[in-house]
């Protein structure tokens, strides 16, 4: 049976109303984790008020 470890990544979404993410920096961070063996499993935006995204919660996994 395969075994995995999990990691969560909380990305702060900038801007007064949220919604501003530097796509190149975000991609670079995900690529660095991918090079370490982490596989992105899911991404969920978290809302603050009035439906604006405040954070992006990413879940990653890799084999132990």
pLDDT in the model for residue 17: 64
Q: Strand runs (DSSP E) across the chain, as ranges?
A: 4-12, 39-47, 53-63
pTM passes above 0.75: yes
pLDDT in the model for residue 53: 78
pLDDT in the model for residue 18: 63
pLDDT in the model for residue 20: 77
**Averages of pLDDT over each 10 residues, the chain, 64 residues:** 96 75 91 97 84 87 96
pLDDT in the model for residue 24: 93
Closest CA to 45 of 8, 7, 11: 11
The percent of the chain in helix, strand and coil, each rounded to the nearest 5, is 20, 50, 30
Q: Which residue has 């979404």 as its token pair?
A: 13
């Amino acid at each position: 049976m395969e075994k995995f470890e999990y990691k969560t990544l909380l990305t702060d979404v900038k801007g007064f109303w949220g919604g501003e993410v530097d796509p190149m920096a975000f991609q670079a961070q995900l690529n660095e984790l991918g090079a370490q063996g982490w596989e992105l499993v899911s991404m969920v935006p978290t809302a603050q008020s009035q439906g604006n995204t405040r954070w992006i919660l990413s879940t990653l996994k890799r084999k132990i």
